[in-house]
Structure formats: structure tokens, C-alpha cells
Structure 1
């Protein structure tokens, strides 16, 4: 009979600790999506609101409000959350006006577009996020269930698992039809190799003419001393920011997409034709973030 050695026990303990830390990190990232709902609710209540999201308040629970207060007190900004949401709204409407009838929202978290944009029944709106996340959102949005007119399909899946594209197809996604893909607020928490795989999966699941909407921190976000306290706070709560890109448009271009990418300050200066420039209050100098729209030729 072989008896376990001390080294075996230590290895098992280390593996168990690593599993616990990974699970805690996943939960911390899941919680962050409801922090962004609080920020959207705050913006919606302003008389000069740049973003309309009347349902975000339903996702603003006492716990998420407390977490949002802590993040903002640590130097977090609201601009990137609000601007990327408005950018996504405008581009999604454009895609639907061009005849696209499929939407896939990856890491859908607290996204409320399926409820608030008045999308018609012909639109199939797929949402993917970690197991339990979408069910929690659905429960909180119960009071506005009647506002959901499009055909929404929810799928609990880990985007780090390469099986999600097949599960999406099994749920009814048609790879031969154009799709608007939304990847909002996810990239700070992934590594570059994970983002590369994600973009490859999206491309393989897309018909020509599909659109990808994505945002990411600029590398300067990490170098700016004004963000040091916020970055330390996010790391302390288990949801460390990881990814930064100095050229999001160039990255997407190298992976098969025709992309237009803008920093918040470029958008504020009117660099994106047809997009309402965000006010300066949402584009402070230290909020270095990209938003991009890309099309598959």
C-alpha cells in the first residue's frame, strides 16, 4: 500500500488554496458588474444625463451601492462605464437599422439593453455570463419583465472555456447570419492571450458584415499615478485590472477585423462622426480608455 507523503499533502493543500482563490476572484468580478449598474443608475438620474438606463436602479442593491461608493472613494471614475454604454447603444441601433437581427452580449453581467432599447421581437438577443450571474439579474429586473420584447436567450458559461461557441450555436445562434457582438467591461480582468482567443472565437462564429463592439483600458491607465490608488483597491478585493492596450484598433486589425478605435478624449473632441461627443466631466485626463467598433469583411 502506498501512503501519502508530506509533499503530497502540501501539494494537495496548495492546489486547494489555488482553487479557492480562483473561485473568489470569479465572484469578485461577478460583483463588479453590479457596481457598473450603480454608476449607470447615478448617471440616469442626472438632469443632464448622457446615458438613459432607467432599469439600472433595479440592479442597484445596498451591497452594490456600498461597493460602488468604495470604488469611487478609491479614485475610480464613471466616465468609461457611461461612455462605452452609450457607444454600444448607438452602434447596436445602427446595426439593427442595417438589418442585423442577432445580438450576442458576452459577459453580459448587468447589461439591460434587451429590456430598455425597445428591440423588436425579430431580434434574437443572446446573453452569456458566468453561471448564476444572469439569473440574479433576471430576478432583480422582474418588475420590468414586460419591457422585454425581443427574443432573449441566456446562457451560463465561462468565456475562458472554449466550448461556449458550440453551446451558443446549440442555443440557436446562426453563424451564417450577421451578428452584433458586445464585449463591454470584460477586458480589464483578462490576460492578452485570453482576449486573443476570445476574438478568434468571435471571428469563427461570425458571418461577413458582423460587428464587434469592445472597450479596454489604455496602457496609460496603469502608468498614470492618478489611478494607483484605484488599481490597488481593485487588486485588494480580488478583481485586479490586468489588460491594457496601446492600440486597440491595431490589435483588432491584426486579428481580421476592420476597426475604428477611440479614446474617451478623442470622442469628447468629436473624433467619431455621428456619435454624440460625451461631456468633459465624463472624460477626465486620467481615465485612459478605448472604445472600438469593428466589422468583419
Structure 2
């Protein structure tokens, strides 16, 4: 599956969430980031209902996983920006709208990294949705599988940073993930990282083989293994969130009854050792 298609699918889900009662986040821009049949689906209530039923049959919990992931990462972003971090690096930015919809990011210096083809689509889409792109966002093409990708990441600098790597690690080989972790370890002390990953137990589950082939999963980690890798690069794990945490923290308090696919977790970490934050 092409990266652009994956990014488009996430944008569609986020646009659909804007019509949900007790929605988990505000993203009015996502509906303007899609076109063609997805925009028709979002615009018409009967089509939204039919699409969501079909999506849940095809991939139980995928919708819930994307919207919970979005809200959890939004919360992590706000927490990092609230403590004075004013640089944001997004690896595999796709159709991420956070730099454009979150007021907290307006004063931040934002670097978006992604494949050149995906960035071309993103820029054209933003031009259609916003007109002029915000001056605080910079774009650099990046192929994490390329040997020089570490040098490309370094161009964003190593100041106190919020590093976001959402829905990327499962689609690249382990050595590419290692480059992201190595770059995170070069960031100034107190920098924060938000990274999603595929749990190895889910990758190995027989009933997920169809998704593994369709989505071309390439890397998976046990939570303890990933925590060890973070520590090896000088990061302190802060939290590791999955379907159970999303149900308890986000869905039940909002009165939502969504299922959540357990095939993605969110690791939160701080560069250096933070006595106040470390578990």
C-alpha cells in the first residue's frame, strides 16, 4: 500500500470523527484535505453510516485505533508545548494537520519529514485547503530506508524538541527505526518523543496475517524491548499506551463504545532522565 494512500485513509477517518457525537478531538481541516469519493462520504450522513459499518466489518477496531491515537498524541503535544518546548519535528508527517489546526503549534518551529511524493501531495492539498502555507512549517524530503536519512534528520537541529513519529515504524525495517531513535537521542535534554509501534504479539498473531500482507508491516517490538532501545539512546520511557488505556482514558469517560484494534501502541519518552516524569 502506497504511503499516500495510508495518509489519505487516516485523513478520512479524522474527518469522519468530526461528525461523531462527543468527538475525541477537533480537526476541521481534515475534511478539506480529502477529495473525490472520500469527501462525498464525509459530506453525507447515510454514506458516513454505511462506510463506518463497512470499515468495522473489514477491520474491526481500526477506526477506534486511529481516533484514539490522534487524541492521545494531541494530548502529548499539548503537554510538551505547555512546558516550553517550541520546536516540533514530525517524521512521516503524511496528512498530519496538527501544525495547522492546533493553536499551541502556531508559535513553534515545525519540521515535517516525509517521502518526496507524499510531501508533494501534502503541499498541493494544503494549497487547496488553506491557500498560503504557514511560514512556521518547513518541509524536508526523507526516505528513512536510505543510508543518509540520519544526516537528513540532523538538518532539523538538536535543540529542545518534540519529536513525533506516528504510524511509521511498522512500515520500515528495524534499522530505519533505529535511525529515528538515534536522532532522538541527540536532542537536547528534556526533549520529548511520541512514537507509535506495532506490538510483536499482534504482528505474530495468525488472524493478523492478512493485515500484515496488505499493509506491508516490516517492524514490530515488544514493549519491554522498545523501552530498552529507548534507554540505550539516552531516553527515559514515560508511558506506553494501547487499546486498554484508550478505552479507560478516552472512550469510557466520553461515553463512547468504539472497539480499538490492539495492533498499535504509543510510546512516550523524554530525552535524559527526568525524576519528576520517569515512572
TM-score w.r.t. structure 1 length? 0.75
Asked if the contact 2:150/2:179 (under 8 Å) is kept, the reply is no
Unaligned runs of 5+ in 1: 1-24
Deviations 1:195-236 (A, max 9, x none): 1222112322x111100001112223234455344334x1xx
CA distance in 2, matches of 1:149, 1:112: 12
Q: By how many angstroms is 1:116 displaced?
A: 0.4
Q: Is the 8 A contact 2:201 2:222 kept in 1?
A: yes
Q: 1:256 aligns with which of 219, 234, 239?
A: 234
> Aligned residue for 1:220?
201
**Counterpart of 1:161 in 2: which secondary structure?**
coil
Query: Cα distance 1:289–1:149, how it changes in 2: closer, same or farther (>3 A)?
Result: same
Cα distance change on mapping 1:276 and 1:111 into 2, 3 Å: farther
| Deviations, residues 224-272 of structure 1 (Å, cap 9, x unaligned) | 455344334x1xxxx41222222143442343211121222123224x9
Instruction: Give RMSD over aligned pairs.
Output: 3.0
What is the alpha-carbon distance in structure 1 between the residues aligned to residue 112 and residue 68 of structure 2?
Answer: 21
Residue 208 of structure 1 corresponds to which residue in structure 2? 189
**Other structure's SS at 2:103 match:** coil
Alignment map for 1:78-227 (pairs within 5 Å): 78-119=63-104, 121-145=106-130, 151-170=136-155, 173-175=156-158, 177-204=159-186, 206-227=187-208
Partner SS, residue 215 of structure 1: strand
Among 191, 212, 216, the alignment partner of 1:240 is: 216
1:219–1:246 Cα contact (<8 Å) kept: yes
Q: Which runs of 5+ in 2 are unaligned?
A: 42-50, 273-279
State the distance in 2 between where 1:129 and 1:189 align: 13
**1:44 correspondence with 2:23:** no
Task: Classify 1:121/1:287 alpha carbon distance in 2 versus 1 (closer, same or farther; 3 Å).
Answer: closer
Give the match for residue 33 of structure 1: 7
User: 1:145: how far off?
Assistant: 2.5
2-structure distance, mates of 1:280, 1:244: 29
Q: For this pair of structures, how many residues does the alignment match?
A: 257
Distance in 2, Cα, partners of 1:32 & 1:81: 12
- Is contact 2:86-2:160 (8 Å) kept? yes
What is the aligned counterpart of 1:269 among 248, 254, 260?
248
- Relative distance call for 1:254 and 1:168 in structure 2 (3 A) is closer
What's the counterpart of residue 268 of structure 2? 293
* TM, length-normalised to structure 2: 0.79
SS at 1:294 equivalent: strand
